[in-house]
Amino acid sequence: MRQLVGEKDIVLSAASHFDGDQCQPEWFAPGTTVIPIFKVGFNSINSAFDLVFVDDVEGIKAWPGSRTIADPVEVAAVVRGEHAGRTSSAQRIVCHNLGIALHDIYWAAQLLELTAGAGAAVSESATVDLGVPASRLWV
């Protein structure tokens, strides 16, 4: 597992079952963003990472692994400009989304689009369109 997550900019996990944590916080490089779709296997990084983004703070509090999340930030607060989001390229971030799977698929598609042809780095000025989809199928 260490080889899979080490020195990666983005780690996206869709594992639905792990027995316990699978990674140690020190395995992740500065600037890594981790998105564990099913929220299993990554509890140990919640308290060690710089930022934990969630779609709903109250919803995440009901989740058994939430005890390791000291100060979750709702993604909506970043979108509204109430929280700065990532302020340094060295910050390590974990994103927990309790919403519908379609959100996870959309964000995974956006990340793939941003990284396509980018090699090892994505521009810090890269953005994701948060507008209403212009077509019925937008993934």
* pLDDT band, very low/low/confident/very high, at 89 (cuts 50, 70, 90): very high
Provide the β-strand partners of residue 94: 34, 52
| Distance from chain centroid for Cα 120 | 18
Domain-wise residue ranges, the chain: 2-115
With a cut of 70, say whether residue 44 has pLDDT above it. yes
User: For residue 99, what pLDDT is reported?
Assistant: 66
- What does DSSP assign to residue 131? S
Given a contact cutoff of 8 angstroms between Cβ atoms, the answer to whether 97 and 76 are in contact is no
User: For residue 66, what pLDDT is reported?
Assistant: 73
- Residues 114-131: what's their mean pLDDT? 67
d(CA 58, CA 46): 16
Q: What is the pTM of this model?
A: 0.69
Q: 65: helix, coil or strand? A: helix
| Distance from chain centroid for Cα 20 | 19
User: What's the fold here for domain 2-115?
Assistant: Rossmann fold (3.40.50)
Given a contact cutoff of 8 angstroms between Cβ atoms, the answer to whether 59 and 98 are in contact is yes
User: For residue 73, what pLDDT is reported?
Assistant: 92
With a cut of 80, say whether residue 69 has pLDDT above it. yes
Residue 37's identity, in one-letter code, is: I
- What does DSSP assign to residue 99? S
User: For residue 119, what pLDDT is reported?
Assistant: 61
d(CA 26, CA 13): 18
